[in-house]
Amino acid sequence: MKMGVLAEVFGNMFAKPMTVRFPKEAIPIPDGYRGEHEFNIDLCISCGLCSKICPNRAIDMVEAPEEYREKYPKRYPRIDLGKCCFCALCQDICPKGAIKMTKNVFLSTFDPKSVIKEPIK
Amino acid sequence: MINVFERLNDGKYTIYFGPAHPGSGNFGVKLEVDGECVISARADPGFLHRGFEKLMEYRIPIQNAVLSDRICILESLAWNLVHAEAVDELMGIDVPERARYIRVVLAELSRIQSHLIWFGVISAGTGFDTGFKIAFGLRDYILDIFEMVTGGRVYPAGYICPGGVRRDFPRGAKERIMRVISKICVDEDTTVLEKLENKVLKDRLEGVGVLSAREAIKLGATGPVLRGSGIKADVRRDDPYEVYECFEFEIPTMNEGDAYARYCVGIEEIKESAKIVRQALKMMPDGDYIAPQFRKPKLHVKIPEGEVYVRNEVARGEGCVYMVSDGGDKPYRVKIRGPSFLHMIPVLEHLLCGAEIADVPAIYWSLNVCPADMDR
């Protein structure tokens, strides 16, 4: 029998572990990661391109809440993270850069309502 | 009484391998067994059918690029490339040289990580857990590269899209890829996986599931399964696409046709892919990463009327897309030909007849199958 397996096993006994102790430390997420969206309503021109290109139809164009309607009279994207496949096409097509993908990946929740991102919270 | 017992209990019964078996994936095989020996096998597919061919008729090409990730979960970038090539050819897009090199690098990295999974599941299927863990650990380094380049670990979200790739290589990616490749292939002729080879693994695989060259062709095997039966066929060499004609690489073949031969072909292919990645990174020119008209995704881009059939060498065999357009912005018909369909139904049924029950996982995983790509 070749000694390869044993050498590999013993080598790994003294090697640094591949994993990290998660809550205390985490592997850094690189730039350009496709995580949760960040929507800047002041940049939005309500063109609706994001809602048209979304392959999963996760984006609806909705009106702002009553109290903000004077300042934001048009329709703005409401993103349903439950339907989203994180393809970043909405970020790429946005002519004003109003939608950006962040590095936030901690999206699991028990509250189904919290997966819907309203344009104004 | 004894006669009745013998008549009723003749030793023949039916057992199911999958779909709830830890080593089968979303796929089942119904085995008719006599004692320990399999008399006949019947594949039971359809647990992962998602209807991509129909879905693609309702989406524009850039949305289909995102969808094409999901055809085979284990090698999404390779399927991205097949889809993107079909649209490129149909629309007559001139893809920039740099994009072609990036596509090749990522397709080959995708092949390496897919073969690592293959090694891992063969090891797990034959009870060699160390191999499984080391292979999946190595695969994680490649997923880190995908995360850095495409923005997602497993699903690149149509990174290889019609016209080129969705974004340029980030700074430091080349060096990182070289580092990871040298972790997997310690030098030109050895991979880490070869160091793990041992007698138990070899004994479990040798002489099991022998597929002759004649049967392989008759049953429609492609890729590593066909090469494991001694036939030198590879789309990258026979019908070069992208920039594969610029690279020097061998096509590994084995004549035995058993599970061990297929396993060896897989290991050799990792080395050849690493060779291609090294060459491609060295030769990669500067320039644009996507054709200018596709830099920003667009709605309502008309696809000229026509039809196209594109074939690529994905890790499992020959992956093909047949696309028809009637001049609208969505394809009229898309047909996907995945390599696993023929490996999992006719080839597997043929190989399982006459095998022992204990060899079923070894035979099944030696075919490098993916239920996702079979059911589509």
ipTM of the prediction: 0.84
Taking CA atoms, B170 is separated from A25, B47, B57, B102, B181, in Å, by: 25, 38, 33, 11, 18
CA distance B215 to chain A (A): 34
Interchain proximity A89–B152, CB inside 8 Å: no
Domain membership flag for residue B223:
yes
Q: Over 70: is that where the pLDDT of A4 sits? A: no
Beta bridge partners of B187: B190
> How high is the pLDDT of residue B47?
85
Q: Could you give the number of structural domains in chain B? A: 1
Q: What is the reported pLDDT for B22?
A: 65
- Cβ-based neighbours of A93, under 8 Å, separated by 6 or more: A49, A50, A53, B296, B297, B298
pLDDT of residue B310: 92
- pLDDT above 80 for B154: yes
Give the closest of A5, A89, A101 to B66, CB-based: A89
B361-371 average pLDDT score: 85
Residue identified by tokens 């969705």 is B166
Place of tokens 């990669």: B284
Q: Per the omega criterion (within 30 degrees of 0), is the bond before B19 cis?
A: yes
Quick one: average pLDDT of B61-86?
Answer: 90
Domain that holds residue B248: 51-375
Cβ–Cβ gap A89/B63 under 8 Å? yes
B348 and B43 Cβ atoms separated by less than 8 Å: yes
Interface test with A, best of B58, B63, B144 (most A CBs within 10 A): B63
Chain A's closest residue to B299, CA to CA, is: A53
CA distance A94 to chain B (A): 9
Residue A39 · residue A77 · CB < 8 Å = yes
The rounded distance, in Å, linking the Cα atoms of A6 and A11 is: 8
What is the per-residue pLDDT for A3? 64
- The per-residue pLDDT for range B169-213, each reduced to its tens digit, is 888 888 889 888 888 887 777 777 777 777 788 888 888 888 888
Amino acid B324: pLDDT: 93
Say whether A8 and B195 touch across the interface (CB within 8 A).
yes
By Cβ distance, the residue of B137, B155, B170 closest to A32 is B170
Whole-number pLDDT of residue B361: 83
Question: Residue B322: pLDDT band by 50, 70, 90 thresholds?
Answer: very high
- Asked whether the predicted pLDDT for residue B3 surpasses 80, the reply is no
Query: With 70 as the cut, is the pLDDT of residue B7 above it?
Result: no
Q: Between chains, do B195 and A31 touch, taking CB under 8 Å as contact?
A: no
CB atoms within 10 A of CB A6: 13
- Rounded Cα distance between B227 and B222, Å, is 8
Q: Indicate the pLDDT class of residue B1, thresholds 50, 70 and 90.
A: low
- Chain B nearest-CA distance from A66, in A, is 32
Residues of B with CB under 8 A from a CB of A: 59, 62-63, 66-67, 130, 134, 137, 140, 147-148, 151-152, 155, 157-158, 166-167, 170, 192, 194-199, 296-299
Which member of B62, B147, B196 has the closest CB to residue A89? B62
* DSSP letter, residue B94: -
Interface test with A, best of B52, B56, B58, B62 (most A CBs within 10 A): B62
Is B13 within the bounds of a domain?
Answer: no
Chain A and chain B share a number of CB contacts under 8 A equal to 73
The one-letter amino acid code at B302 reads K
Which CATH code fits A28-117?
Answer: 3.30.70.3270
Tokens of B303: 């696809």
Query: What whole-number percentage of chain B has pLDDT above 70?
Result: 97
Classify residue B175: in a domain, yes or no: yes
* Residue B122 CB coordination number (10 Å): 27
**pLDDT for res B24:** 67
Nearest CA in chain B to A9: B130
Lowest mean pLDDT among B23-32, B252-261, B301-310: B23-32
Q: Do B198 and A5 touch (CB under 8 A)?
A: yes
Nearest-CB residue to A87 (from B66, B140, B170): B66
Distance CA B340, CA A109 (A): 36
Does A47 reach chain B within 8 Å, measured CB to CB?
no
Q: What is the predicted pLDDT for the residue at B15?
A: 85
- Hey, is the C-beta of A15 within 8 angstroms of any chain B C-beta? no
Q: How large is the average pLDDT for residues A3-16?
A: 76
pLDDT of residue B9: 66
Contact by Cβ (8 Å): B71, B52: yes
Asked if A87 lies within 8 A of B147 by C-beta distance, the reply is no
The confidence score (pLDDT) of residue B373 equals 85
**Mean pLDDT value across residues B236-242:** 86
Q: Identify all chain B residues contacting A52, using CB atoms and an 8 Å cutoff.
A: 299
Mean pLDDT of the residues in chain B? 86
Chain B: nearest CA to A1, how far in angstroms?
6
* B59 chain-A contacts, CB cut-off 8 A: 55
Q: What is the pLDDT of residue B23?
A: 64
- The arrangement of strands across the sheet holding A75-80 comes to A59-63, A75-80, A116-117
pLDDT greater than 80 at residue B157 = yes
| Domain extents in chain A | 28-117
Residue B161: CATH number of its domain: 1.10.645.10
